[in-house]
């Protein structure tokens, strides 16, 4: 019998998912079932594993994910807590395989866990990135307190203003999030409308805020997606600590920010 647990590289990737799920919880970004993760595992599966039998009937997708036909993803389960994903990723998430026509998916391993309610956003983002030739295997969505807090302030609902404010708190932020951040105005969680608004922001950014809800990062590597959000979170904490102490932080100057571009090959 084929068991994915014998696949070393695959299990190493699942281990990284568990590691990051633990960070989300310990950082206080994952209240109850807050946040979700998807990782494209297609390149890590053997040809036998790619054709594992489905554990249940196929579930139709709202839209055809034409660039994802045949791809296999690990996705966290809906209602599942990150603190438990960290302990047991297979009891709190599943491997799903997209049908060749991109119109449905099947759960193929290891347990019959229903995918996150944000599957429309995750899959549409993967679909958009693949069809634009971008090699991003990962979508990470989480609920970082201070970053969400900033989206409750109207002036920060402008991508340029929010990016400039966060970049200017600490040089690393400009370096680690070079494309800045996009913002999606509030939409009901889990909807295809939210998904469509999100992929529009991916044209220019690898990190996107959902107003009054959370943040998403896309990338080749889950740890790097986490690091990008963690760095932005650090900047927001510096900004808000200064405001709580009663002063407006000076922030780095335009020149100081621009000097980072050649210095770090941005
Ligand atoms: P799920 O439990 O369905 O993944 O939802 C959590 C969440 O953060 C919704 O945006
Ligand atoms: Zn959320």
Q: How many residues does the chain have?
A: 266
Q: Taking a C-beta distance cutoff of 8 angstroms, is the pair 97, 106 a contact?
A: yes
The closest alpha carbon to 261, from 199, 179, 183, 201, belongs to 179
Q: Whose CA is nearest to atom 1 of ligand 1?
A: 78
Q: What is the pLDDT along the chain (266 residues), one digit of tens a residue?
A: 678 999 999 999 999 999 999 999 999 999 999 999 999 999 999 999 999 999 999 999 999 999 999 999 999 999 999 999 999 999 999 999 999 999 999 999 999 999 999 999 999 999 999 999 998 999 999 999 999 999 999 999 999 999 999 999 999 999 999 999 999 999 999 999 999 999 999 999 999 999 999 999 999 999 999 999 999 999 999 999 999 999 999 999 999 999 999 999 99
pLDDT at 197: 98
Q: Taking a C-beta distance cutoff of 8 angstroms, is the pair 59, 104 a contact?
A: yes
Active site residues: 118
Q: Which two tokens stand for residue 16?
A: 């990284």
Find the 142 Cα to ligand 1 centroid distance in Å: 9
60: Cβ–Cβ under 8 A, 6 or more apart, which residues? Answer: 103, 104
Q: Which of 17, 25, 29, 35 most suits a substitution to test ligand 1, by most atoms within 8 Å of the C-beta? A: 35
168 lines ligand 1 (CB under 6 A): no
pLDDT at 2: 72
The closest alpha carbon to 219, from 227, 231, 209, 230, belongs to 227
Tell me phi and psi for residue 207, to 5 degrees.
Answer: -130, 130
Instruction: Give CA–CA dist 16/47, Å, rounded.
Output: 23
């Amino acid at each position: 019998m084929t068991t994915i647990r014998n696949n070393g590289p695959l299990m190493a990737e699942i281990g990284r998912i568990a590691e990051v799920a633990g960070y989300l919880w310990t950082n206080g970004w994952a209240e109850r079932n807050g946040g979700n993760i998807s990782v494209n595992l297609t390149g890590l599966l053997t040809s036998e594993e790619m054709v594992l039998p489905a554990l249940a009937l196929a579930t139709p997708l709202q839209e055809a994910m034409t660039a994802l036909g045949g791809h296999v993803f690990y996705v966290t389960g809906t209602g599942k807590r990150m603190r438990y994903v960290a302990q047991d990723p297979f009891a709190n998430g599943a491997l799903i395989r997209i049908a060749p026509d991109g119109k449905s998916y099947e759960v193929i391993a290891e347990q019959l866990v229903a995918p996150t309610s944000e599957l429309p956003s995750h899959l549409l983002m993967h679909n958009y990135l693949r069809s634009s030739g971008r090699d991003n295997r990962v979508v990470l969505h989480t609920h970082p307190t201070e970053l969400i807090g900033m989206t409750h302030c109207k002036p920060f609902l402008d991508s340029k203003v929010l990016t400039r404010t966060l970049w200017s708190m600490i040089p690393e932020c400009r370096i680690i999030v070079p494309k800045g951040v996009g913002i999606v105005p509030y939409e009901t969680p889990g909807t295809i409308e939210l998904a469509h608004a999100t992929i529009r922001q991916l044209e220019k950014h690898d990190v996107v805020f959902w107003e009054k809800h959370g943040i998403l990062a896309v990338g080749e590597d889950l740890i790097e997606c986490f690091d990008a959000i963690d760095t932005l979170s650090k900047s927001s904490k510096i900004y808000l600590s200064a405001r709580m102490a009663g002063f407006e932080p000076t922030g780095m100057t335009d020149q100081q920010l621009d000097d980072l571009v050649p210095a770090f090959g941005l």
